[in-house]
Amino acid sequence: MHPSTSRYRSRNGDGTSKKKRRVDVKMDMISELPNALLLQILSLIPTTDVVSTCVLSKRWRSLWRDVSKLDYSHLNDRKLSHKFVNRFLILHKSHRLESMRLIVGSDCETADIGIWIGYAVEHGLRELELDLYLEKDQHIRLSSSIYTCKTLEVLKLKNCVRVDVPDSQVCFKSLKILNLQLVHFEDEDSVRRLFASCTNLEELVVTRYMDNVINFTIEAPSLKRLSIHDRSDGDGQRGYVINTPSLKYLSIKGHQDFEVSLENTPELREAKIIDIDTEKILLPLASSVTRLSLSLSPLEIRYAYSIVFHKLVNLELSTSKTEWCNLLVVLLLNSPNLQVLKLMRDESGLDNKERSQFYEPINVPPCLLFYLQRFEWKKYNGRREEEKKVAMYILSNAKHLKVANFTTKNFNSDVKFEMLKELAREPKASPSCQFFFE
């Protein structure tokens, strides 16, 4: 052994080396942290891992019992059963259980879930996420104890949860965020009663497939953000009524046969509409929205001719639908204050071989002459004649354009270079415009 190495590993009185001692001190530094910080760290990991820390040392032996969060998933812990949750709650000694996240399968008893939720409600529950993986056509009724939880702020229900809101004694006065994914409502009245009980609700996410609710009514005076994704095929019978006077953001994706009625949305500023083609949804947007994203089929394009978007400054339009060029021209003519225009191709429309015919309007839209400052095109395909014409038209007429950014996909460098040359040789209305092509 080299002499210097021997001196470096010289023994202490207890028989350990200096190097090993320094490493041990560093490894145990986390145990010196205060309990409050350690509990905060433990709240970020699954509960099964939290409980396993009890074997680390005497310092950690009972620390897990004070964690105020239960995060259990049978998908990650297939060797364990739902009995783990029962034991955790029995041994849990904290006076608060503020967060509960349960992902359980068909082996879990309905009664157990009700007991778990009831325990959490009695111990100051603030956040609940319930995700069920059950057999086909099997549902678990949401525990009645949750409907009287006055401390609940976040509620997320996913898959196979049956919601039957009672006629009375329902109070979600603290609930601010509600997420309903593939939840089965007992009837239309349950939907109304649920939202009526959420007097301070601010954010709502709804994902639906096939259920027995035809008219889905959302009446929530305090709601600010609403996202709806209806994955059913659409049979002309389903519909939505939205009465939300404080709503600022709306995202809705569904089927062109759906009826969507915006009855009271004076504060709406940003909207994302996908495959919902009705005058009842487009017309209310015109008076208030400043940012609008559209992916519509051409079937109802005639509605857009008479709608003027006075406050619209930011427009995003999908180029995946047939006749999108016609819709773009109409929107440019009817959006006099537009400043930002973004065109993009949806993933679902990448292989769409149908072509749209672009016809230049008789008069140049006022937004191109006075206001448009930024033009972006994602997944631009200059080999499509209509796309090349639209790009050249905007570049040659937007007099105050500051930035033009084109991005392509699935093209080799030679094809991209040819697209760039075609756009570069065209005269630009704005000499100060910065041109980017990626």
Most confident of 83-92, 188-197, 227-236: 188-197
With 60 as the cut, is the pLDDT of residue 114 above it?
Answer: yes
Phi then psi for 122, rounded to 5 degrees?
A: -70, -15
Residue 335's nearest CA partner among 362, 359, 316 is 316
How many residues belong to the chain?
438
* Structure token digits, residue 83: 């009995």
Mean pLDDT of 175-189: 90
C-alpha–C-alpha distance, residues 153 and 346, integer Å: 35
How would you label 162-193 residue by residue, b for 16+ Cβ within 10 Å and e otherwise? bbbbeeeebebebbbbbbbbbbbbeeeebbbb
Element (H or E) spanning 36, and its range? helix 35-42
Q: What is the pLDDT of residue 357?
A: 81
Average pLDDT value over all residues in the chain: 82
The confidence band for 344, taking pLDDT boundaries of 50, 70 and 90, is very high
Nearest-10 crossing angle of helices 324-333, 385-397: 20
With 60 as the cut, is the pLDDT of residue 69 above it?
Answer: yes
Q: What is the pLDDT of residue 115?
A: 87
Phi then psi for 71, rounded to 5 degrees?
A: -125, 100
Element (H or E) spanning 120, and its range? helix 110-122
Mean pLDDT of 87-112: 82
Q: What is the pLDDT of residue 127?
A: 95
With 70 as the cut, is the pLDDT of residue 392 above it?
Answer: yes
CA angle 372, 377, 382 (to 5 degrees): 120
Q: What is the pLDDT of residue 298?
A: 58
Q: What is the pLDDT of residue 354?
A: 62
**pLDDT: which is higher, 336 or 96:** 336
The confidence band for 31, taking pLDDT boundaries of 50, 70 and 90, is low
- Do residues 218 and 204 touch, judged by C-beta distance below 8 A? yes
Most confident of 89-98, 235-244, 293-302, 371-380: 371-380
The confidence band for 315, taking pLDDT boundaries of 50, 70 and 90, is very high
The confidence band for 23, taking pLDDT boundaries of 50, 70 and 90, is very low
With 70 as the cut, is the pLDDT of residue 44 above it?
Answer: yes
Q: What is the pLDDT of residue 15?
A: 52
**What would the DSSP string read from start to end of 331-369?**
HHHT-TT--EEEEE--GGGTT----------SS--HHHH
First to last CA, the chain: 60
- Do residues 147 and 165 touch, judged by C-beta distance below 8 A? yes
- For the chain, the structural domain boundaries read 20-66, 290-438
**pLDDT: which is higher, 66 or 125:** 125
Q: What is the pLDDT of residue 164?
A: 75
Helix then strand count (H, E) for the chain reads 12, 21
Residue 299's nearest CA partner among 276, 328, 331 is 276
- Do residues 399 and 371 touch, judged by C-beta distance below 8 A? no
C-alpha–C-alpha distance, residues 141 and 171, integer Å: 18
With 70 as the cut, is the pLDDT of residue 351 above it?
Answer: no
Whole-Å CA distances, 244 to 191, 204, 331, 405:
15, 11, 26, 37
Q: What is the pTM of this model?
A: 0.83
pLDDT digits (tens, 9 = 90+) for 214-242: 889 999 999 999 999 988 876 557 889 99
Residue 118's nearest CA partner among 148, 92, 95 is 148
Least confident of 196-205, 319-328, 347-356, 366-375: 347-356
C-alpha 343: how far from its chain's center? 21
C-alpha–C-alpha distance, residues 49 and 110, integer Å: 25
The confidence band for 135, taking pLDDT boundaries of 50, 70 and 90, is low
Q: Where are the alpha helices (DSSP H) in 287-334?
A: 324-333
With 90 as the cut, is the pLDDT of residue 281 above it?
Answer: no
Q: What is the pLDDT of residue 229?
A: 93
Q: What is the pLDDT of residue 77?
A: 60
Q: What is the pLDDT of residue 54?
A: 72
Mean pLDDT of 51-59: 73
Alpha-carbon dihedral sign for residues 262, 265, 266, 271: negative
Whole-Å CA distances, 220 to 2, 175, 187, 230, 249:
78, 12, 18, 19, 14
C-alpha–C-alpha distance, residues 172 and 202, integer Å: 12
pLDDT digits (tens, 9 = 90+) for 400-421: 999 999 988 777 788 888 888 8
Least confident of 70-74, 167-171, 185-189, 404-408: 167-171
